[in-house]
Every structure is written in structure tokens, then in C-alpha cells.
Amino acid sequence: MPEAEQPFREAPPVVFLDIDGVLNSVASRKRYPAGDERKFIDPDAVKRLNAIAEATGCVFVLSSMWRVGAGLVRTREMLAAAGFTGKIVDETPLLFRSRRDEIADWLECEHAGGPIAILDDEEVGDLASRLVRTDFETGLLDEHVRRVVELLRAEAAHG
């Protein structure tokens, strides 16, 4: 997107990214055969994630438990193989507490002040005003893309 269309001039927006229930779902797992990596990273959901990055210039922070299982490097590789063109710049710390606590810790230690959104299929406590909640049955849909873009732009306008 040309710079003139980017509404963010300071720190880029940050989207905290869960994987299960966002980039894969019950529907996507049924769609692909056993052994097909698309069961775990749905290319249709990745296209939607790319649309968020293109519309906002955001970067992503991995908040999913995939940071423990697959790890950040392997998750990046799998996303790239599925067509992801955005940037995962970091991961939340593993505190063995709630997702909310891990996101809050990252915000306290690393956040440069830009707009934030959280893409997750679970609640995040008092960070709920930043949450665009997906459903594990369906994953990331066009309506979620619109809401994330609107949320980031609204925060930038009032920031």
C-alpha cells in the first residue's frame, strides 16, 4: 500500500496472533486430507491475514501456543509456505499464565506505542476492547478482517 494510504506515521500497529481457531479451524481441518499442512495453516485464512497487513502496515506478534510447539521459526516457515507476506516480529513471553497476562507483559516491555489488536478465539480479560474474537469452528473470516482494520484505524485516529 502506498505510504499516502497508510494512516500510521509512528510505531506500526501490532496484531497479536493466535493460530488455532484463527488460521485453522474445524472447517479447515475437515477440508484437507490427513498429512496436508493446510489442515494446520489454512491458505484462505492466510489471505485474510495478508489483507490486514496490507491495509494497515501492521506487524504481528505470535501469542499462540505454537510458539512452544512449532516455535517461532517453524511457524514463520509454515506461514510463508501458505502464502503469508506479513511480518511476525516477535512472540509473547511464555509465563504459564493467561494469554492476557502474556500479552500485557509484552506490551509493558516491548510496545512502542502504536495501535494494537488481538486476533484470538479465546477471551483476554481486560484487554477485550482490543480483541477481535474468531470462532474455532470457522477461523478468520472477512468480517474479522474488517473489524481488525477498523479497530487499528480508529485507535490511530484517536491516538
Q: What is the pLDDT of residues 35-74, one digit of tens each?
A: 887 788 999 999 999 999 999 999 999 999 999 999 999 9
Q: Return the closest-CA partner of residue 11 out of 48, 50, 61.
A: 61
Question: Residue 9 has what pLDDT?
Answer: 56
pTM of the model: 0.91
Question: Residue 147 has what pLDDT?
Answer: 98
Least confident of 28-42, 71-85, 90-104, 134-148: 28-42
Residue 4 has pLDDT above 60, yes or no: no
Residue 130 has pLDDT above 80, yes or no: yes
Residue 2 has pLDDT above 60, yes or no: no
Query: Helices 142-158 and 43-56, interaxial angle, to 10°?
Result: 20
Question: Residue 38 has what pLDDT?
Answer: 76
Residue 150 has pLDDT above 90, yes or no: yes
Using alpha carbons only, give the angle 144, 36, 123 rounded to the nearest 5 degrees: 30
> Dihedrals φ, ψ of 51, to 5°?
-60, -35
Domains, the chain: 3-158 (3.40.50)
Q: What is the pLDDT of residues 7-34, one digit of tens each?
A: 445 789 999 999 999 999 999 888 888 8
